[in-house]
Chains A and B, each alone.
Chain A
Amino acid sequence: MTCTEFLAILDEVIDQSIAAETRAEIEVHMKKCGHCEVVFNTTRKTIEIYRAHELYELPTDLRDRLHNAIMEKCKKSKGPCS
């Protein structure tokens, strides 16, 4: 496996949607290629960090206010059955 081939399936490797034999080839490649190993580990870490941190929080009072506004608008509208 070359680095270009590795990069082409990086997403599948990260998402664990590849066949076992391809996975074995990838492990062999990463043992030989420090660059690809770093790219794999840090890309996976990038996703983990973004998943673990709420960037745009909706505070409870704002959430309640918006929720009530939505429901008020829906009640006033003709609705889906019009």
Chain B
Amino acid sequence: MMATIQSVAGDEGQHPDIALVERVKAGDISAYDELVRKYERQVFRIAQHITQNREDAEDVMQDAFLKAYEKLDQFQGNAKFYTWLVRIAVNESLMRLRKRRTGKLVSMDEDIETEEGRVPRDFADWAPDPEQNYDNSELSEILRKTIQGLPRGFRVVFALRDIEGLSTEETAEALNLSVPAVKSRLLRARLQLRERLSRHFRPGAKPAPPPRQAGSPAGKRV
């Protein structure tokens, strides 16, 4: 009886994904269906952040889940399944970019030797609730363009750590980087995004809508 209680208590401490992984390893593919359902949106978003291309992200998502399924016996269970899956998705994304560039090496370290974002330069405060000045599609466009402008190595660290909520250690593991490298890139990513968003979010940044032209002779040459 005691042993049963202890083993139940032990199971409670285990991440629920581990039980699903064990079921898949035992041949129950419906458990993998659950894992795919649980993480497909995250994998799609991460692939989008790296490839910046919707079709590529769709392909990466499929390839990553297939590869994870085929290699599941290599998953040791000492890491989280999700972190392990993200690592596969990151590698698949980089391979997809390499294909697009006809074999040219693609890495996480491109263009990170920029001076931008090492120290803040813009000290203008933002308008209160600055996002309220834009409608949803305008705001999404600003946020997408701004993050797309970051070097890949910064963009992905920000996406994993701040958007997807991985810890610093998990981000390091998923990207095969050291913890200090993740910390340094995260700070610079955050500062660069802040600086670039300031252009849109400082008070008065959004130009007033153009005056109505109807009936106005203003544009007419005389």
Which residues of A pack against B, CB within 8 Å?
7, 10-11, 14, 34-35, 38-39, 41-43, 45-47, 49-51, 53, 55-56, 58, 62-63, 66-67, 69-71, 73-75, 77-82
Contact = CB atoms under 8 A, between A and B. Distances in A.
Contact of A74 (B32, B126, B193): B32
A77 B70 contact: yes
Contacts of B33: 71
A11 to B, nearest CB: 5
Contact of B124 (A38, A51, A75): A38
Contact of B163 (A38, A51, A73): A51
B191 interface: yes
B190 A46 contact: yes
Nearest to B186: A11
Interface residues of B, number: 52
Contacts of B130: 45
B126 A45 contact: yes
B27 interface: yes
Contacts of A67: 36-37, 40
A66 B61 CA distance: 8
Contacts of B40: 58, 63, 66-67, 70
